[in-house]
Amino acid sequence: MTDWTAPKTFVAGEVGTAAEMNTHLRDNTLHLKERFSAAIRVGATMDTEDTTTSTSLEAVLNAQVSLTTTMTSDVVVVASFNAKTSDHTYPGIFRLYRDSTALGSILTDAEEVYSPIALVAHDNDLAAGTYVYKLYHARVGAMGTIYTDQVSIVAIAMPI
């Protein structure tokens, strides 16, 4: 992969040499292109309803995506889904995990009809390797059932 070189600041009237143009324009443009070309995008969709009555976080059935990176990367993970509760006085909590590491969560006061929800997490400086991103859910409070449906999880890795 081409290395990045801090661009030269040219002065008015200066004519750059071929070597300068190759370094500061061609090579830096190639560097950016290689980084974007190395981006990895994976996604998964689960369209079967899953429920929980637990107050402990449980994995949403089949709501996971596996990502393999070959170099250190920043990863953005987006989970979009529909959620509802059997008793709107007790909200649900949803959390994204990378393997066993919690990345982000949302507490939702879902109604008794499905509502669309999106949860976004940023995973910084992830070493090369294979990781599994999963969505978990639980109810908050003494009673009720949390329903989760139409889950899509997308992970985008950008090499750094």
Domains of the chain: residue spans and CATH: 40-159 (2.60.120.1340)
pLDDT value at residue 72: 87
pLDDT value at residue 1: 66
pLDDT at 85 over 90: no
pLDDT at 112 over 80: no
Which among 135, 76, 19 is positioned nearest to 5, based on CA atoms?
19
Which among 127, 129, 132, 128 is positioned nearest to 103, based on CA atoms?
132
Q: Average of pLDDT values for 26-45?
A: 78
Per DSSP, what are the bridge partners of residue 29? none
What is the percentage of the chain residues whose pLDDT exceeds 90?
43
pLDDT value at residue 32: 80
**In this predicted structure, which of 24-28, 48-52, 69-73 has the lowest mean pLDDT?**
69-73
